[in-house]
Amino acid sequence: MSEVKIIGVVGGGQMGSGIAQVAAMHGVDVVLHDLDHRALSKASSSISSSIDRFVSKGTLSQAAGVEVLKRVRFTTNLEDFHTADFIIEAIVESEEVKKSLFVKLDKIAKSSAILASNTSSISITRIASSTTRPCQVIGMHFMNPPPLKKLIEIIRGADTSDETFATTKALSQRLGKVVITSQDYSGFIVNRILMPMINEAFFTLYTGVATKEDIDKGMKLGTSHPMGPLELADFIGLDVCLSIMRVLHAGLGDNKYAPCPLLVQYVDAGRLGRKRGIGVYKYS
């Protein structure tokens, strides 16, 4: 099993910045890459404010918080990953875009490096097929927000080696997470179950069964979910939810996974959820 000293994270959005923070909080040096330097400055301030919250709750000392920030290096240059032992991709949920990134990572990363994807639903086997090292490609699906959620879902592609799996599992545990393992089928475990529920909540709103507030209240108080499904969709990002539904629909081949037209319309209108200030709800 190889030792992981430096982690590269690609994509400085809500997941990538959170993953970088988790790694740094557990003593690992991190290089965080995004194409967009504005995304990197947003990532830097979101990591700082999350660290401040840990410090004010007393779960992290001020000095340790300063050290965490020092462990993250921000870059727009993918070549900076040449020293990374383990690279976690957390960019847009598109198979085409992810595959073209993996082609580049395969060329830049050292031959022993593992390439992991934080994809919510896309086939790891197909992502791996774009590289010359499919046995070193794996799914490592963090939950949102990564610094707070305990779970990592590990997905083995058709060619993922036992060594890659063991290194990824050991790393996940070192990051303080509980691991579950899924075979490589669309949506894996968590999103295969969660996304059809969110989609059904959109259909419930679309067909006028109830108001958004009552749908969320019903699921929170009626089934003890911490967030209602529409609130949760806004938190995840409606674009991410729609992409996952499309992957489930195409991959599992059943019309029950067809995305709700209202979800499609919101995404078309740029109502992507909290990150855009408007989704199902408006945020000030």
> Using CB under 6 A, which of the segments 106-114, 125-133, 174-182, 233-241 binds ligand NAD?
233-241
Structure tokens at 234: 């806004």
Is 120 labeled as catalytic in the residue annotation?
Answer: yes
User: Is 282 one of the annotated binding-site residues?
Assistant: no
Give the one residue of 134, 139, 237, 279 binding ligand NAD; rule: CB under 6 A: 237
- Decide if 191 is catalytic: yes
Which residue lies nearer to ligand NAD by CB, 56 or 100? 100
Which listed residue (6, 9, 16, 266) binds ligand NAD by CB under 6 A? 16
Q: Does 13 bind ligand NAD (CB under 6 A)?
A: yes
18 annotated as ligand-binding: no
96 counts as binding ligand NAD under rule CB under 6 A: no
Does residue 77 carry a catalytic annotation?
no
Question: Between residues 118 and 160, which has the closer beta carbon with respect to ligand NAD?
Answer: 118
136 is in an annotated binding site: no
Applying the rule CB under 6 A, the residues between 117 and 176 that interact with ligand NAD are: 118-120, 141-142, 144
**Catalytic annotation on 46?**
no
Residues of 134-145 as b/e, b for ≥16 C-beta within 10 angstroms?
Answer: bbbbbbbbbbeb
By CB under 6 A, residue 36 contacts ligand NAD: yes
Q: Does 29 bind ligand NAD (CB under 6 A)?
A: no
Question: Does the protein bind ligand NAD through residue 279 (CB under 6 A)?
Answer: no
The single residue among 9, 25, 39, 194 that binds ligand NAD, judged by CB under 6 A, is 39
CA distance 193 to 69: 36
Q: Beta strand pairing status for 151-156 and 178-183?
A: parallel
Identify which of residues 210 and 251 has a Cβ nearer to ligand NAD in the complex. 251
- Edge-to-edge strand order for the sheet containing 137-142? 72-75, 29-33, 6-10, 86-89, 114-117, 137-142, 151-156, 178-183
Report whether 182 contacts 238 (CB < 8 A).
no
Count of other CB atoms within 10 angstroms of residue 125 = 18
Q: How many residues bind ligand NAD (CB under 6 A)?
A: 27
Annotated binding-site residues read 11-16, 34, 50, 57, 93, 98, 120, 144, 275
- Binding site for NAD(+), residues? 11-16, 34, 93, 98, 120, 144, 275
Residues that bind ligand NAD (CB under 6 A): 10-16, 33-36, 39, 90-93, 97, 101, 118-120, 141-142, 144, 236-237, 240
Binding-site residues for CoA, in ranges, read: 50, 57, 120
- Residues annotated as catalytic (active site), given as ranges: 120, 141, 153, 191
